[in-house]
Structure 1
Amino acid sequence: MTRPKKRFTQLIEEIDRTPWGPAEQALVADAVALAVELGDERLEYEARMRQTASANMNGATDVMLNSFAWCLARHDADPQRFPADLEYGGADLMWQFKWMASSLRSSPAFSVEQIAAVLDDMETHYRTAGLGMSGVLTARFEDAWDAGRIDDAEALRVQLEATPRDDHSHCDACGRSQFAGFFAETDRDAEAIRLVEEMLEGGFSCGEEPEHALSRVLVPYLRAGRLDEAKSAHLRSYRLAKDNPDNLRIVANNIVFSALTGNEARALAQVERHIAWLAHDGLNVDAHFAALAAFAFALDRVTAAGHGDAPVRGADSPSLIAFFGEHDGAWGAAELAAAAWGAAERIGSQFDRRDGTEGHARSLARMRALADEHYDVPIRSDAFATTPDSATPGDPDAWFDRVMDLAQFGAEHETLQALPHALAVEDRSKVAQLMSMRLGILIALDRADEAADLLPARIDALRAAGLDAQADLEQRVGLATFGLNTADAAAALEDELANAESLPAWSRGDIAISRASLHMQADEPDAALDMAEIAARAFADADDVRLSNTTTLVAIAAVLQKGDIEAASALLDRFLAQDDLSVGHRAQALQTRARVRGGSEDYARGAADADEASRLLAGLGATTALATAHLLAGALWEDAGDPEKAVARYRVTSRLVAQEGGDQAGADFRLARAMLAAGDAEVAAELFGQVLEREEQADVPAASRAMTASLLARSLGSAGEFGQAVGAYGYAADLFGEAEEHADQAMALTERAKILARFDEHDDAIESLEAASEIVRKAPEAVGALADVLHNLGQAYGAKQDDRAFALFDEVAALAQEHEAGWLLADVTDSRGRVLAQFGRIDEAVAAALTAADGFAAIGDAGSAGGSELFAARLLAGDDRAADAVPVYRSALEHAVEHAPLRQVSALELGNVLESLGRQVEAAEVRALIES
């Protein structure tokens, strides 16, 4: 068993290498508890110094204040034993002083006198320690600004800029961000933007930077008309801030941006996602104020967009009663907006009374004034879930029709929800039908006991409607005609079929269609078709169009179960051409045909069917079924190569799933994938990040998380966030390794290496590729992955003039020949030529490049052929063999007819070569091609 002091040392080491977050917080708490148990104040000081920093980064203000006070008291009593700086790479005690005044200011529970005392105490400690005044001035500036003493804040800002920087000054990122926020608030937008762009260009970052700085210049960017920069800043800021509750102010700024830019659905989703953060840090009341004002503004915009009744998920949490008051049921957007404004005004008044200013009142006035501004910056992450064609039925008979349509489509849950509204119909036969619908759905939902309890009432309803023969039948067979799948039920149906001639036609049809259903469940499609034919004749004799059409759909399902797609397609086409179909039957048939067409790779027509089914379901208010229909439509448009249309469908799916319950992660994964395909990488990265977070919370299998992480990495790379992409690819590789998906693990490492090489991190890139090459050989059947990894490693070796490259190229070429992969053979030959050139073996390099060009040309890739020839021509020209280069350049030009950039470069270089040979006329003719 590890000794306590050794265990303490291990905890401290683990804390210092663990990123901020719940895991790190737990380690710090363990270290403090262990030090207290040991009774060693010096060890406790080490732990609590870290606890102060941890609490500051994670928004635990009460813990931070208590921890700091304990440490400061020990330091003041014995500076030698408890030094201000433990030199562990974290914040020292004097640096932590800067957080204290800010924390006290963030709650109106602390007085102006208490805040001033902390600031004075800070200055005394700094002077005693011989430190510069930059840190003190920064704290005093923040205090004046937050209190609304703008003139004082401006004077302190000027003084601060003139004060020499020292080890306790804000870092470059935080200093610029802070001043940028002050400039934005005091209507100096251009200066705010300049500071943030300086920060980004310098690559400065810190704990909450650059996300905080980016959020501060969102409105200035919009007002400057720089909408693209505003969108990019928002997406990056929100993506970096959205997982830490201590970033509530940053998120609030981003919510305001969404609302200002016509993205009301996104704003609502963000409010729902972060509203619980109000209860995270009870002492950070100023952040609550900022968030409540942002929520109120956003929900006003949601209301103005026509969705004031939209429920705000999470707002009814008991932890939020202190902010919004008691409420019966879910909050709607409009009423929550009013409550949020009220809470913000109440908190703002408390601050202004304490500070003796109108700072918070002015802040609310600025927020309200934004109501006059609007900017069009579409972000397609969210959509409102609406059913515009749906009208609430006005009487029981209309509800009956709605129930029938929902049941005929197969919308089980919506049918059960609608049924009670229809039971007041006067027609007794309709009451009997409604009870039949309920029984069938209960059986389908495996609620047979409930169905058995309801059956006597169904039989009574049949007798009340004068349908005694059907009542007697159901008395005999029980739940067999409602889909109960037991041996006794099947036997009972068979007995009735044997003596069916004495029954009314409708009852004969009912027995036959019930038996057909059981045959379908037993995977006996031929027998099901026989029964469907009997049922069809019976229902025709009974003149029941509704059940005749239901029977046709059963028959189509049986034909599909047989695998006869052509026959099923023909039946569906004829069925949909009928003019006697109910809305429910038509929607069901359209959805079935959409799937059939998708299976036959007729994606666009299948998607059109799914879209029409969605329209019909919207009219029925079938929200759960509608989510599935939109999901199908999105998948088909995605397969049809139209990701833009897929995005539109998936957005609605995501919102419906969010409202009705379901696989939110699955819906958003598809939406993110379609967005990536449509070129909207920044939003895709945000969504993939959210999906990955949900998957980790749900502890889904590693392989699934790995796929999400790899797509997140690809999105980040496409969005220019290369550093984060490297990390995401590494994480994906770890997850693929955990799942023993060797080929995918190797490809993730390869993509990581490509980014590293792009930024000249060649040693790290080679290390990643070497690991990938060892892993991919565990999956020899994955030939494509093996070839890709070895090819990339060969290129990396070649860049370092490591002749191990050539053996790898040989292996890739052998794989290409074995599998008749002509393009790969040409590509690896081209790579060989380029590496040979690195070694100065010009003749061999030219020969390889020309061989590659021939290979590309043979398979019709003229652009790649021209690229290889251009490389060969350059080698010849650079080797003082200009005359030999001319025909190669001309061949490259011929291959570049459909590739304008290649054509222009080839023409320009050939012109220069011809001119060097004194062939001026030819040079002029070639250069003229650049203009053509």
Structure 2
Amino acid sequence: MGWTMADCPRCAASVDLDDAQLLENYLGQDDEHALALLLLPFLHAGQFGEARRAHLRGYRALKDPAGHPALVAQHLLFCALTGNLDRAVALAEKHIADLMGELAALNVVLGRAVDAGHGAAPLRIPIDVAFTLGLTGPPTIASVSAAIGVTRSELRAEHYDVALSTLPSARLSAPPMDFGLPATAEGWLDRCDELAELHEYESAYHAAGNALALDPEPEVRAEVLGYRVRLLSELERREEIPPIIAERAALLRGLGEDAHAGWLERSAELAVQPLTGDEVALAETLVSEYDRPELPLRVRAMPRLLLGHVLLYALRAEEAVSELQTGVEHARAGGAHRMADSAVYALAHALTITGEYAAAEHVLRATLSRPELRPATRPRLQLLLSQILAVSGQLATAAETAAEATEHFATLPGSSGWVGHASTLEVTYLAEMGDPVAAAERLRWTIERTQHAEWDATARWSLRCKLGSLLIAGHRIDEAVEVLRRITEELDVAADGVAGSEDDVADLAELAGEVWYWLGVAIRQRGDKRGALACWNKALDVLKDSPNSQAEPARIHFTIAELWHQDEKFQPAIAAYLESLVHIEQTRDPIAVAQVRRSLGLARCESGDPLGLNDLAEAREEAERLGEPMLLAELADVTARSLAVLKRYSEAVAPALQAADAYREAGDDVRAGLAELMAARIVAKQGQTVEAIALLRAAIEATIASGAGAHTVDSFLLLAELLDSQGNHAEAAEVRLEAEVRGL
């Protein structure tokens, strides 16, 4: 259980250095490595003030604690050895999952706490760490220290050669209880249920084993065996199931539950094989045999619920709804609320498949109103409810519900992945509601809270990339650049050492392309066009390792085209739009194809090439076929602008007015007013001043009536200009004053 730093090159280079060498190498530096590696040399030299400042600055500077456990260990040692055991234990609890390779340092903290008389204090540790250490009882500071199995004397000699008596006395307040390990079979049964609900099947199986090891009463043993059957099925160890069913049936008969035992034996055929949907006939037979009035309702519920699940596998959702509803009703009436609560998830899911979202929401809310609902079941149902609310357009309520699910998941062992999933949904809803800052802050919390989740590195990088994009949307550009640059550095290292399949290489390349894209967007918002183009070209370069990726290269080429287009460099813009079109056509996304053609057509027309009108016509045909009203409005708008730039004014007025009508029908009164302003300008260019004035008056009136009067300033100014040209100077002055007032 040696304390190694080999995972980090800088740490590895320092592991054998003495104090003098560490001071020579790092003194005066202010990065996370230097501040951590100088802590013990400062203490050895009696420079407690310097050590304390290095700890406070250095711990805050740790951007990736999970990636530098050796540095975290230095901070733990500092706290323990200076007597601040309260902070030392808190940090140990926070980072313990990352410190499995730093157990010696961890045990300095725990040993000091034991010496100070706090060995019986509870210690919060994740369930997987408890299993790794072989704990079977509630974790305490002393029990975890003993489980690590490293002697205190060895640790002192290895890590700290100053007599402990010269250090401040230890102090510790009792750490709060979180989720300690159960001490009874019933407690392990509840833990097994929680873990099974969270799909942590291996850990749940271990929990069931711990329950059985405590020789529970027959009723509890029978229930634990029921969980083992389900867990073995999920773990695809079905060959182990038959003897467990036989043992459970015998226990139930001994308890007088003959009907339940008979059901287990009769349905065993379905327990030892995965459901495929081909078992409907057998499941219907079981319903006829076991849903009979003379049998207990909890037994009658079982065949109904089984048939409901089989029908779902058979893609017969409407029939599944009926069976699941009956099963839930039987279970509730029979007092089997745990069975009913678990089945509600499948019932709500089936209702969403049939499009009955209101009914699904109702059944979920009814179940969530039960105060005795199990801790692991509640957030799973809340998570499903949030998704249903979002589909129904209730984004604010969906975000609140996802937040509640996140908080509930966070109280459960082994739930980091679920915390991440629920919080990511909340982040998505907040972003869709137009609150990227709140979404970014929530995503930061998610990334911190889920650092121990069993996700691969690509999933973690993807979350952080999402954070970068949200920070950009929230105009926090410097933070976004820092987040995204750090990911690119890590991805460069990962790409050098990647040895996975072609799919792994492609996945990493696609993620890298997205990160470089967003970094370019952030740098562009700083005003650095050259830097942005360099990032986007880098993105296109790394995407060569993902040959099947089309959407991301299309987006990057389109963004490059827009940059050239805004600078009126039409030829490179047209070339980039064409590159984007090549990729986007392969995605079979007709809306995206029409949008690229729209921009391509405008760029061609602005370059003086009337062939751009053909691109616009093709895009309009596609939009009409798809029935996309907003896209049709935008295409009419762009067509009018394109005709005007080609000086075909007489043809441009009609599409401009069509765009205004389409925007207004779609509820976008601001863009409708802008389209009418464009129409008036075109009419005025033709010398039809009276008609242009009338058009502007009508446009201004309609825009003000819609509540978008603040967006009429340009229209008022053009109206004043036209009135002046007609000699109506008094009204023109009044109109200019109105424009000034509205512009305030």
TM-score (norm 1): 0.52
Q: Distance in 2 between matches of 1:789 and 1:721?
A: 24
Q: Distance in 2 between matches of 1:581 and 1:322?
A: 41
Q: Show the counterpart of 2:66.
A: 272
Q: How many angstroms does 1:436 deviate by? A: 1.3
Q: Show the counterpart of 2:532.
A: 725
Q: Distance in 2 between matches of 1:916 and 1:486?
A: 80
1:737-886 paired onto structure 2 within 5 Å: 739=547, 745-756=553-564, 764-765=572-573, 767-769=575-577, 771-772=579-580, 781=590, 782-795=593-606, 798=607, 803=608, 805-809=609-613, 811-812=615-616, 815-816=619-620, 819=623, 821-834=632-645, 844=647, 854-858=657-661, 859=663, 860=669, 861-865=671-675, 868=678
438-447 or 904-913, which deviates more: 904-913
Q: Distance in 2 between matches of 1:549 and 1:147?
A: 58
From 334, 339, 342, the equivalent of 1:547 is 339
Secondary structure of residue in 2 paired with 1:750: helix
628-637 or 867-876, which deviates more: 867-876
Q: Show the counterpart of 1:926.
A: 736
Q: Show the counterpart of 2:383.
A: 591
From 373, 394, 399, the equivalent of 1:602 is 394
Verify the 8 A CA contact 2:11 2:33 in the aligned structure 1: no
AA in 1 matched with 2:444:
R
Q: Distance in 2 between matches of 1:588 and 1:759?
A: 51
Q: Distance in 1 between matches of 2:559 and 2:693?
A: 37
Secondary structure of residue in 2 paired with 1:659: coil
Pair 1:655 & 2:655 matched: no
Change in Cα spacing, 1:303 to 1:512, as seen in structure 2 (3 Å) is same
Verify the 8 A CA contact 2:423 2:442 in the aligned structure 1: yes
Q: Show the counterpart of 2:93.
A: 309
Verify the 8 A CA contact 2:689 2:722 in the aligned structure 1: no
Q: How many angstroms does 1:847 deviate by? A: 6.2
Cα deviation digits, residues 292-343 of structure 1 (max 9, x gap): 899989x99995996552117766658x9999999999999xx9xxxxxx99
Cα deviation digits, residues 755-788 of structure 1 (max 9, x gap): 3465687775565456556767778952221222
Q: How many angstroms does 1:726 deviate by? A: 1.2
Cα deviation digits, residues 10-65 of structure 1 (max 9, x gap): xxxxxxxxxxxxxxxxxxxxxxxxxxxxxxxxxxxxxxxxxxxxxxxx99999xxx
AA in 1 matched with 2:93:
D
758-767 or 853-862, which deviates more: 758-767
Pair 1:699 & 2:505 matched: yes
Cα deviation digits, residues 159-200 of structure 1 (max 9, x gap): xxxxxxxxxxxxxxxxxxxxxxxxxx8xxxxxxxxxxxxxxx
AA in 2 matched with 1:667:
L
Q: How many angstroms does 1:273 deviate by? A: 3.8
Q: Distance in 2 between matches of 1:910 and 1:437?
A: 80
Change in Cα spacing, 1:655 to 1:908, as seen in structure 2 (3 Å) is same
Q: Distance in 2 between matches of 1:584 and 1:762?
A: 58
Secondary structure of residue in 1 paired with 2:94: coil
From 460, 467, 492, the equivalent of 1:664 is 460
Uncovered stretches (5+) of structure 2, i.e. residues with no partner: 1-8, 39-52, 112-128, 134-140, 146-155, 161-174, 499-503, 625-631, 664-668
Q: Distance in 1 between matches of 2:466 and 2:75?
A: 33
From 355, 360, 363, the equivalent of 1:571 is 363
Cα deviation digits, residues 663-721 of structure 1 (max 9, x gap): 32443344444444444444445555666765965423466655554444334433545
Change in Cα spacing, 1:716 to 1:753, as seen in structure 2 (3 Å) is same
Change in Cα spacing, 1:468 to 1:612, as seen in structure 2 (3 Å) is same
Instruction: Please provide the CA RMSD for this pair.
Output: 6.1
Q: Distance in 2 between matches of 1:731 and 1:462?
A: 66
Change in Cα spacing, 1:391 to 1:518, as seen in structure 2 (3 Å) is same
Q: How many angstroms does 1:659 deviate by? A: 0.5
Verify the 8 A CA contact 1:302 1:308 in the aligned structure 2: no
Verify the 8 A CA contact 1:264 1:305 in the aligned structure 2: no
AA in 2 matched with 1:608:
E
Verify the 8 A CA contact 1:736 1:742 in the aligned structure 2: no
Q: Distance in 1 between matches of 2:554 and 2:97?
A: 41
Pair 1:435 & 2:229 matched: no
AA in 2 matched with 1:598:
A
Verify the 8 A CA contact 2:720 2:735 in the aligned structure 1: no
Q: Show the counterpart of 1:447.
A: 237
Verify the 8 A CA contact 2:298 2:331 in the aligned structure 1: yes
Verify the 8 A CA contact 2:554 2:583 in the aligned structure 1: yes
Secondary structure of residue in 2 paired with 1:310: helix
Q: How many angstroms does 1:661 deviate by? A: 1.0
Q: Show the counterpart of 2:426.
A: 633
Verify the 8 A CA contact 2:637 2:656 in the aligned structure 1: yes
Q: How many angstroms does 1:444 deviate by? A: 2.0
Change in Cα spacing, 1:703 to 1:872, as seen in structure 2 (3 Å) is same
Secondary structure of residue in 2 paired with 1:661: coil
Q: Distance in 1 between matches of 2:274 and 2:486?
A: 42
Q: How many angstroms does 1:446 deviate by? A: 1.8
Change in Cα spacing, 1:583 to 1:755, as seen in structure 2 (3 Å) is same
AA in 1 matched with 2:600:
V
Verify the 8 A CA contact 1:391 1:619 in the aligned structure 2: no
Change in Cα spacing, 1:470 to 1:767, as seen in structure 2 (3 Å) is closer
Q: Distance in 1 between matches of 2:731 and 2:278?
A: 97
Q: How many angstroms does 1:660 deviate by? A: 1.9
Figure out how many residues of one structure are paired with residues of the other and give that number: 620
Structure with higher Rg: it is 1
Change in Cα spacing, 1:406 to 1:264, as seen in structure 2 (3 Å) is farther
Verify the 8 A CA contact 2:402 2:422 in the aligned structure 1: yes
Q: How many angstroms does 1:443 deviate by? A: 0.9
Q: What percentage of residue pairs aligned between the two structures are identical?
A: 17
Verify the 8 A CA contact 2:76 2:105 in the aligned structure 1: no
AA in 1 matched with 2:223:
Q
AA in 1 matched with 2:674:
S
Secondary structure of residue in 2 paired with 1:806: coil
Change in Cα spacing, 1:632 to 1:602, as seen in structure 2 (3 Å) is same
456-465 or 866-875, which deviates more: 866-875
Verify the 8 A CA contact 1:869 1:888 in the aligned structure 2: no
Q: Distance in 2 between matches of 1:491 and 1:622?
A: 38
Q: How many angstroms does 1:440 deviate by? A: 1.0
Q: Distance in 2 between matches of 1:814 and 1:472?
A: 68
Verify the 8 A CA contact 1:830 1:849 in the aligned structure 2: yes
AA in 1 matched with 2:360:
A
Verify the 8 A CA contact 1:770 1:793 in the aligned structure 2: no
Q: Distance in 2 between matches of 1:793 and 1:294?
A: 64
Change in Cα spacing, 1:313 to 1:443, as seen in structure 2 (3 Å) is closer
Change in Cα spacing, 1:661 to 1:409, as seen in structure 2 (3 Å) is closer
Cα deviation digits, residues 465-514 of structure 1 (max 9, x gap): 55466456545654745875489998887776565468665444444434
Change in Cα spacing, 1:639 to 1:914, as seen in structure 2 (3 Å) is closer
Q: How many angstroms does 1:442 deviate by? A: 2.2
1:9-88 paired onto structure 2 within 5 Å: none
Q: Distance in 2 between matches of 1:851 and 1:252?
A: 73
Q: Show the counterpart of 1:615.
A: 407
Cα deviation digits, residues 258-317 of structure 1 (max 9, x gap): x99x999984443434678x9xxxxxxxxx9xx9899989x9999599655211776665
Q: Distance in 2 between matches of 1:251 and 1:648?
A: 27
Verify the 8 A CA contact 1:853 1:864 in the aligned structure 2: no
